Amino acid sequence: MNSGRTVFSQLMDFISPYEFRKCVERYRGEYKVKEFTCWNQFLCMAFAQLTYRESLRDIEACLRSVPIKLYHLGIRGKVARNTLAHANAVRDWRIYAEFAQVLILKARKLYAGEELAVHLDQTVYALDSTTIDLCLSLFPWARFRRRKAAIKMHTLFDIRANVPTLVIITHGKVHDVNILDELLFEAGGIYIVDRAYLDFARLHRIEEASAFFVTRAKKNFRFRRLYSHPVDKASGVLCDQTIVLKGYYSQKDYPEKLRRIRYFDANSGLLLVFLTNNFRLPALVIATLYRYRWQVELFFKWIKQHLRIKAFYGTTQNAVKTQIWIAISIYVLVAIVKKDLKLTRSLYTILQILSVTLFQKTPILQVLSESECEIETDECRNQLMLFN
């Protein structure tokens, strides 16, 4: 990398300007725009995410202090908070949603060769959602309860690549199971979901798409056993059964056979009951796959703690979605940089180093690989250490 360019400029080299322009033109994002382009908006919001700026005024003050360095990124003139606020409010959020998908596709190709704890050729997805609380007086369009507003971020997460492949942002009242109606299932793919998605009519759509699901059974689950298969109880698998559903409506919703696996997790002391339509994988592999669902929870925790998606720079629905999608873009961009530069540091450490070196004129590989001080690991500590 050119040592005469800032780290921020070098970081943006991992983004294709051509692909970004295609997304802008698709939604006419720069119709009647004279100066502050969509690229300028993206750079300002990317800077805010990378450095965890508190407000639009904070963004304005920081960027106005380095006008010469911004010029080489393509930002002409001074950054004004009113201009940025207006852009976030009126420019179609789908521009940044589609551009995030471009980055996601690139990341998935880079991580395609990653190995899981179990050897599988299929793509494994985890589906879950997280709720982001909002102030009802500022976000009346997101009414959740009588005195509370909220939105939900429903996420389909690629376990192998460790990146989200699909994010659907809805009101807080939308139940998780309804998102299954929005998905196009990949033939041969394995979808891991929790009990909130246990709707047999919707799960049958996964079966019809020649895909597989792994979920947990509810306590009142009614079934009829057809066959029992031999298991090694020392592995924690207590039973492996082929079953059919009982009840008129359940059988109508899912007329096929299902596989029921009872598993005792020695680490947590929990007895878990799994349901799946995959009869080929060993029972222990099914139980191990369900553990991967925790990766989407870790993604929610990571992005909430280290990027700016819990407090928003604008109050309109468009501004909120724009900010979330740019935050996702930054998460995926950091993952791309990690893989492309063959870095061994965690995403958290890379993000922390970038946050304090964005305007240094040092090769980005040197900044991210030769720092002497190893920053704290991904796990957040609730209390600081007073003594070593």
Question: Can you say whether residue 342 is alpha, beta or left, with left for phi > 0 and alpha for psi between -120 and 50 degrees?
Answer: left
Alpha carbons 219 and 203: distance in angstroms, whole number: 18
**pLDDT tens for the 388 residues of the chain, in order:** 455 788 999 999 999 999 999 999 999 888 888 888 899 999 999 999 999 999 999 999 988 888 888 877 777 767 899 999 999 999 999 999 999 999 999 999 999 888 876 778 789 999 999 999 999 999 999 999 888 999 999 999 999 888 999 999 999 999 999 999 999 999 999 999 999 999 999 999 999 999 999 999 998 889 999 999 999 999 999 999 999 999 889 999 999 999 999 999 888 888 999 999 999 999 999 999 998 889 999 999 999 999 999 899 999 999 999 999 999 999 999 999 999 999 999 889 999 999 999 988 889 999 998 654 444 444 444 444 433 3
Alpha carbons 45 and 310: distance in angstroms, whole number: 15
Nearest to 88 by CA among 382, 319, 327: 319
Nearest to 8 by CA among 45, 35, 58: 45
- For tokens 């989200």, the residue is 164
pTM: 0.89
Q: Which domains does the chain have, with CATH numbers?
A: 7-95+325-369 (no CATH), 194-284 (3.30.1370)
Question: 197, 215 in Cβ contact below 8 A?
Answer: yes
